[in-house]
Amino acid sequence: MSDAFPKTIEKAHSALIKKEISCEELTRHYLDVISERDGRIHAFLEVFDDASIQHAKRVDEKIVRDGGLGMLEGIPIAVKDNILIEGTRTTAASRILANYSASYDAHVIRLLKSAGSIFLGKTNMDEFAMGSSCENSAFGPTRNPYDETRVPGGSSGGSTAAVAAGECLAALGSDTGGSIRQPAAFCGVVGLKPTYGAVSRSGLIAMASSLDQVGPIANTVGDTELLFYAIRGKDAQDSTSVETKKRKKTGGLVIGIPKEYFGGGIGSGERKVIEDALALISNSGVTMKNISLPHTDYALSCYYIIVPAEVSANLSRYDGIRYGFTKEAGTLFETYVQSRSYGLGSEARRRTMIGAYVLSSGYYDAYYLQAQKVRTLVRQDFEKAFEEVDVILSLTTPQVAFKIGEKTKDPLTMYLQDVYTCPVNLAGLPAMSVPCGFVDGLPVGLQIIGRSFDEETIFELGKKYEILRDG
């Protein structure tokens, strides 16, 4: 990316206001980077060239007409392909929705439309947001801009790769068990999973409804914060969404370091990077405290029962009759079977079957009910810890980005990607990944976990850390 172009929303906004660049130039720059790089990266499933340019021209006219401009007005962003934009294709990277055109805007899209953001296009992902590598997309994998033989992470890997490759200024993703934070860590960008209920899920294609959240991805904490405050808030279409106020923290920050997040499985380079990051933070005058989250070991198993259960319910609507793809056969039953066998990829089918099994009357108590009880214990661990500390720090993932194809044969090793991220979703908490160093040229992410609806403290520490890091 040329240095003449601003790399953050804040800088782009000020360049637009001062007329140092036009919105059309800014937008064309990103479209040019996309056409130059995306043939290899494959972050985008669809690019809205003409619509973006038309929108940019309208923004330029407005600048000439009345000078003023909203903070996100004319800012080119990318949108994960499980978030509906009316009148455009929304596939969730599934064959079963390959020709589905959204009939309404997601709530977050409505908010960003009224803020004047420009949507450059829709980004690749794991099918229905199930996966950690973008390899479960029906339309081919995305590549990591730092090393094209490696995955960008998932499921929002298209959005994080697009930001990292300089193909957009910021992006939207979704996070059910780590899908914003893990790919943000792998691609060296910032990604926030908001508190459950902070952002409306209306118009987000459902994966596991008790865990899904839409969230922002950007180059800096400041930009991530801007985008978060633009999309959060109560929406009548999602009864789990609530109005929140910025919290004001008084007194010094107390940071918790959970011993369960620093055990085995961490690469030696990654361990050095996180220890250096923690030392930097601890030398800056905050209080660090060792804490314990004793049920951490059970969180992953619990997550991989609750998620398939909810997936099996949510994906039952894709029956080949009501939406998208239909493979007609002799009988109604055969039509269902053939449409779903062809339309859904192997991970979607695996989770649907596991989900139906754990919800079946003979096994409901042993699996689903038990997992719900464990979920409560995981949440209570955090509640207890937050009586003593204001935020909790860990690595976002135990290791840096892996090779394309390395984990596709073994779903269990893929699921282990979520070991530090999925407990946060089970507890409904906010958490952000911030780049904190490199191992062999590949980015490492620092995870900052906060109290419910206290994104503010996460941003404050994140911004402080960026200054310390960039020294």
Active site residues: 80, 155, 179
Element (H, E) at 415: helix 411-415
Residue whose CB is less far from ligand GLN, 418 or 455: 418
DSSP state letters, 134-165: STT-TT----BTTBTTB---SSTHHHHHHHHT
Among the listed ranges 25-33, 172-180, 242-250, 403-411, the one in contact with ligand GLN (CB under 6 A) is 172-180
3-state secondary structure of 454: coil
CB-count exposure of residue 67 (10 Å: 0-12, 13-18, 19+): exposed
Among the listed ranges 123-131, 163-171, 244-252, 359-367, the one in contact with ligand GLN (CB under 6 A) is 123-131
Q: Kindly state whether residue 117 participates in binding ligand GLN, applying the rule CB under 6 A.
A: no
Residue whose CB is less far from ligand GLN, 52 or 447: 447
Among the listed ranges 44-52, 125-133, 215-223, 361-369, the one in contact with ligand GLN (CB under 6 A) is 125-133
Residue whose CB is less far from ligand GLN, 27 or 132: 132
Instruction: Please state the closest distance from residue 129 (CB atom) to ligand GLN, in A.
Output: 4
Q: Which of 23, 207, 277, 432 binds ligand GLN (CB under 6 A)?
A: 207
Q: How far apart are CA 430 and CA 192, in angstroms?
A: 7
Residues 6+ apart with CB under 8 A from 289: 254, 255, 256, 257, 388, 389
Residue whose CB is less far from ligand GLN, 131 or 188: 131
Q: Kindly state whether residue 418 participates in binding ligand GLN, applying the rule CB under 6 A.
A: yes
Among the listed ranges 14-22, 127-135, 256-264, 320-328, the one in contact with ligand GLN (CB under 6 A) is 127-135
Residue whose CB is less far from ligand GLN, 6 or 131: 131
The residue length of the chain stands at: 471
Centre a 10 Å sphere on the Cβ of residue 330 and count the other Cβ atoms it contains.
8
Q: Kindly state whether residue 177 participates in binding ligand GLN, applying the rule CB under 6 A.
A: yes
The residue count for binding ligand GLN (CB under 6 A) is 14
Q: Kindly state whether residue 401 participates in binding ligand GLN, applying the rule CB under 6 A.
A: no
Instruction: Please state the closest distance from residue 441 (CB atom) to ligand GLN, in A.
Output: 24
Residue whose CB is less far from ligand GLN, 307 or 354: 307
> Cα 100 to the chain's mean position, in Å?
22
Rounded to 5 degrees, what are φ and ψ at 70? -65, 160
Residue whose CB is less far from ligand GLN, 286 or 359: 359
Q: Which of 117, 124, 132, 394 binds ligand GLN (CB under 6 A)?
A: 132
Residue whose CB is less far from ligand GLN, 131 or 428: 131
Please give the residue whose beta carbon sits closest to ligand GLN in the complex. 179
The candidate with the shortest Cα–Cα distance to 170, out of 121, 224, 115, 122, is 224
Q: Kindly state whether residue 82 participates in binding ligand GLN, applying the rule CB under 6 A.
A: no
Q: Kindly state whether residue 131 participates in binding ligand GLN, applying the rule CB under 6 A.
A: yes
Q: Kindly state whether residue 455 participates in binding ligand GLN, applying the rule CB under 6 A.
A: no
Q: Which of 56, 130, 273, 431 binds ligand GLN (CB under 6 A)?
A: 130
List of E strands, 226-323? 254-258, 287-291
Q: Which of 52, 94, 155, 312 binds ligand GLN (CB under 6 A)?
A: 155
Q: How far apart are CA 372 and CA 355, in angstroms?
A: 14
Instruction: Please state the closest distance from residue 174 (CB atom) to ligand GLN, in A.
Output: 6
Q: How far apart are the first and last CA of the chain?
A: 23
Q: How far apart are CA 259 and CA 328, in angstroms?
A: 55
Q: Which of 83, 109, 129, 230 binds ligand GLN (CB under 6 A)?
A: 129
**Pattern 306-325, ligand GLN, x by CB under 6 A:** -x------------------
CB-count exposure of residue 328 (10 Å: 0-12, 13-18, 19+): exposed
Q: Read off the tokens for 330.
A: 């002799």
DSSP state letters, 348-404: HHHHHHHHHHHHSTTTTIIIIIHHHHHHHHHHHHHHHHTTT-SEEEEESSSS-PPBT
Q: Which of 116, 145, 178, 215 binds ligand GLN (CB under 6 A)?
A: 178
The candidate with the shortest Cα–Cα distance to 236, out of 202, 205, 198, 213, is 202
Instruction: Please state the closest distance from residue 400 (CB atom) to ligand GLN, in A.
Output: 16
Q: Read off the tokens for 340.
A: 């779903």
Q: Given the rule CB under 6 A, which residues bind ligand GLN? A: 129-132, 155, 175-179, 207, 307, 417-418
